[in-house]
Structure 1
Amino acid sequence: MSWSKMKQNLESFLCPALNGRVEYRSTSYRYLPDKAGLCYIAVDKKNVLNMSDTTNPIRWYQTELEIKNDSAIQIPISHEEMEAVRKDTKGTVPEDRLIVIARSRKITEYAKELMSAQASLSKSNFIVAANKFLSTSIEESIESHDILLNVLALVDRRVGKKRMLNMTDKIKLKHPIVQYFYELRLSTF
């Protein structure tokens, strides 16, 4: 599928409030066949999602330690996770320390997922991800671990207000770019 046709298909799925605000852009190099073009997403004429751009306004984490030390990341701990830690420690650890251990384990898992998602996003081809988005259901795109599929699903008109509000807890565990597009979409309601 040509870029212009794909762009037209993607923009046809944009929610009406974001139509004209969110744009899919592409650059290509006619005389450099070994150099792939760049694809990026712009919001209000500003490039927001360009994986290779270091001036990106969204934070890209370099190490697991950065994620662990980021105070903006709030990780909710469930009762089941607390019980798993209690079982692993054979009940010898005080209650307040159990919360710290459970949170630390969950942040480590989250950091590994976030780093792998960023790595796959920086290596991925926007066109391949867009084709996957256009050929799969909206539920699969929302539940996917692929950051780009999440972003495309969040600006989709098939995702309504009720579904958006029900995703609040899941979005807290996603990459900051996904959170940015979630907040952008919530601002349209």
Structure 2
Amino acid sequence: MPDQHWSKLRKRLENLICESLRDRVKFTVTNYRKAHDQLGRAFISVDKNEVFNMCTLTSNNALFEKEEELLDDLQLKYDVFNKEQNCSIQNKSHEIITTEGIFAQHDFFEAVEKYLNSSIEVSLQSNHIIIKILSLIDRRVGKRTLKKMADFIAQEKEIVQYFYHLRCEAEGLENI
């Protein structure tokens, strides 16, 4: 869980949303008390439609499958006593699934903390999908910066492109 309560963190995030999207973009965190770990998911909705889901259960399942896949690819067996190998496989698996855009609730909180503690210039250059999304809807990013990004946005993940085009449309830059 983040260092701050979610309500304060959400308020900080929402204060950074550009004026044209302030009433359209919402951040939500849901915890499931009856779940064994009491975690849940975080999601971003636009116009009351969920567009980006960061579910811990989905992430954990993908992580497990990716670990199994890596073990098979490396022709290794899971060894409960080989902590170094297990950590290495888990870290590599986590890196792969986050690159694919699969995140857990804790990944969202980590990204938000990093985003809030970084300059907007650093956030815009980030390879982290969540940080990139947050920076694209940030009020500190102007129209000129958005126009400059047009050439590079095609190489981004689909969800990043979605938020880029949403912001451009909201700012009246539809022809980009």
- With structure 1 as the length reference, what TM-score do the two structures score? 0.63
Structure 1 position 163, deviation (Å): 0.3
> Could you say which residue in structure 1 is the equivalent of 2:156?
174
| Deviation string, structure 1 residues 43-77 (Cα, Å, up to 9, x no partner) | 00000001449xxxxxxxxxxxxxxxxxxxxxxxx
Q: Does 1:20 align with 2:20?
A: no
- Distance in 2, matches of 1:115 and 1:176, equals 15
- Distance in 1, matches of 2:156 and 2:50, equals 20
Change (3 A) 1:132 1:115: same
Structure 1 position 31, deviation (Å): 3.8
Which sections of structure 2, spanning at least 5 residues, go unmatched? 57-94, 172-176
- Distance in 1, matches of 2:55 and 2:119, equals 28
Structure 1 position 12, deviation (Å): 0.2
- Classify the secondary structure of the residue corresponding to 2:100: helix
Change (3 A) 1:115 1:38: closer
- Classify the secondary structure of the residue corresponding to 1:150: helix
How many residue pairs were aligned?
Answer: 129
Q: Once superposed, what is the RMSD of the aligned Cα atoms?
A: 2.2
Structure 1 position 115, deviation (Å): 6.8
Q: Which amino acid aligns with 1:145?
A: N
> Could you say which residue in structure 2 is the equivalent of 1:64?
none
Residue of 103, 127, 152 corresponding to 1:122: 103
Q: Which has the larger radius of gyration?
A: 1
> Could you say which residue in structure 2 is the equivalent of 1:10?
13
Which sections of structure 1, spanning at least 5 residues, go unmatched? 54-112
